[in-house]
Homo-oligomer: A and B are copies of this chain.
Amino acid sequence: MTSAPLEPFAVTIDFATGALVPDPDVLDRRLADLDGYFVADIDDPGVGAYTVHEVRVPPTGNNLLSSTTVLAPGKVGDEYFFTKGHFHAIRDRAEIYLTLSGEGLLVMALEDGRTVTKEMRPGIANYVPGHWAHRSVNTGTTPLVFYAVYIGDAGYDYATIAERGFPVIVVEGEEGPEVRPNPRYVAS
């Protein structure tokens, strides 16, 4: 081996709130950080959209990175709050999302524009295979809390989504959430 083994450790996850103990690495995303991501304009850029609570290990292909995400309920125009979403920098790396609280949709897209949308609710473990960009959407009225595990060297490609958008958007329709084509999606 090239380095000494890591020491085993543990974190405690509050399934209701997504808080970790210990919780040293919290990323705080406001609507301002999502400027340009929604079809409608953002009214109040100071509103909190989501927090990511990371468990830190070396980002190598033999380790597992993990985090909880707490996505607030809310809408910008008729679009539900969502996470930025990304491809993995190393495209073929998989990820698992285990929903702990709340309800939502997991939108996944290939670079060719094909999309798959899956339900998120407590107890559902979503498998995000390699090559699928992934964004979670809170379609409920309470925080959407999920635990993510992914291969340590996966990395993040946020730029492709920032530039092209997702092929679909999730809006509040007459009878609940509707998945519709994104009028601003830039096909490759």
Contact = CB atoms under 8 A, between A and B. Distances in A.
Interface of A: 1, 5-15, 55, 57, 61-64, 66, 90-96, 98, 106, 108, 110, 116, 118-119, 122-132, 147, 149-152
A55 B94 contact: no
A3 to B, nearest CB: 9
Given A5-B110, A62-B151, A151-B64, A125 B94 contact: no
Given A8-B129, A66-B125, 20 more contacts: A1-B91, A5-B131, A5-B132, A6-B127, A8-B132, A10-B118, A10-B127, A12-B125, A13-B98, A13-B124, A57-B94, A62-B90, A62-B93, A62-B94, A64-B64, A64-B127, A64-B149, A66-B96, A94-B152, A151-B151
A96 to B, nearest CB: 5
A6 B93 CA distance: 11
Contacts of A7: 116, 129
A17 B146 CA distance: 20
5 contacts: A8-B129, A13-B124, A64-B151, A94-B152, A125-B147
Given A61-B61, A149-B64, A8 B91 contact: no
A96 B149 contact: yes
Nearest to A126: B10
A9 B118 CA distance: 8
Contacts of A94: 6, 57, 62-64, 152
In the complex, which of the residues A13, A122, A127, A130 has the most CB atoms of chain B within 10 Å of its own CB atom? A127
B14 A123 contact: yes
A127 B9 contact: yes
